[in-house]
Amino acid sequence: MSFLSTSKRSLTPNDTQRSKSKLLTALTTGTSIVAIGALSMTAPILANAKTVQPSSANYSFTVEDKYKGTATRTLSQSGNTWKYNVNARVAGVASAAQSSTFTINGNNVVPTQAQTTYKLLGLGRTHKLNFDPSAKKVASTYKGKTTTMNMAQQAFDDLSLEVQIRQDLLNGKFSGNYYMAKKDKIEKTPFKKSGNTKVTVPAGTFDTVRVDRIHDDNSRSTSFWLAPSLDYLPVKVTQVNDGKKMDLELTKVN
């Protein structure tokens, strides 16, 4: 089955572009917590803050109930440098790779670099972010163009945002007021906690905290189920965008 079309007609450039946008967005947003995070640039460091532990986990995901793929998420530490890698693929059709490098000072996650690369049938794009916390700036490079943005508040990429929200939950500091660096702007991205519930996924049954992203558009919804027993690692993610649904579930903790 092709990602681009289920019919036998010839594809136009617009058909291809629309398919890339929907399906590769699902790949990248489906394999990360997408837009969670952020404290003030001057937030105090907690002397005895708890810290997430290095981990590796496997996931399965479904897009529109017909495109099935797998993903691996690996969080590693070397000294005070942390790296988070996510790789997702639908065999023979599409792939996405994300990486984020950051430090953790007390409770505060401070990103330094991030990169997202996606490919569909051999064609793809790469988006890079370079953070300069001391200058309170972040440089975004996409399609050969670099845009430098001011950070009035600490901004994050997708993966460092995920780690920040997990840090906040570990230390009782969840605020719901977060910021994410996009391709050409820094965007406020609010979240809310929506209660506790048990969730059963292929990896087992977990007590979880549900966190929902607050969207301006009622046609969109994004929900995450985070397991305290796994340092609030996501065990399930559900996203609806323009009527297209994506489900992500934990299959194994390595």
pLDDT tens for 190-210 read 999 999 999 999 999 999 999
67: Cβ contacts below 8 Å, ≥ 6 apart = 1, 3, 23, 26, 90, 93
pLDDT category, 22, cuts 50, 70, 90? low
pLDDT exceeds 60 at position 42: no
Q: How much of the chain is helix, strand and coil, in % rounded to 5?
A: 15, 50, 35
pLDDT-derived band at 242, boundaries 50, 70, 90? confident
For residue 9, pLDDT beyond 60? no
Q: The pTM is what?
A: 0.82
Contact 50, 108 (CB under 8 A): no
User: What's the pLDDT at 122?
Assistant: 72
Residue 96 pLDDT greater than 60, yes or no:
yes
Q: Which pLDDT belongs to residue 13?
A: 46
Task: Indicate the average pLDDT of the chain.
Answer: 84
What per-residue confidence (pLDDT) applies to 38? 32
- 149-167 in b/e form (b: 16+ CB < 10 A) is bebebbbbbbbbbbbbbbb
Residue 26's Cβ-count burial label (10 Å; 0-12, 13-18, 19+) is buried
Please say if the pLDDT value at position 7 is more than 50.
Answer: no
Q: Does residue 130 surpass a pLDDT of 50?
A: yes
DSSP state of 184: S
C-beta separation of 197 from 217 below 8 A = no
Encoded amino acid at 224, one letter: F
Q: Are 96 and 117 in contact (CB under 8 A)?
A: yes
Given a contact cutoff of 8 angstroms between Cβ atoms, the answer to whether 174 and 187 are in contact is no
**pLDDT beyond 60 at 2:** no
Please, which pLDDT band fits residue 215 given cuts at 50, 70 and 90? confident
Beta-carbon count within 10 A of 233 CB: 22
Task: State the pLDDT at residue 92.
Answer: 78
Question: Which of 83-87's residues contact partners 24+ apart within 8 Å by CB, and which partners?
Answer: 84/159, 84/160, 84/162, 84/163, 86/31, 86/32, 86/159, 87/31
Average of pLDDT values for 149-161? 94
In the block, residue with structure tokens 């793809």: 124
How far is C-alpha 36 from the chain's CA centre?
8
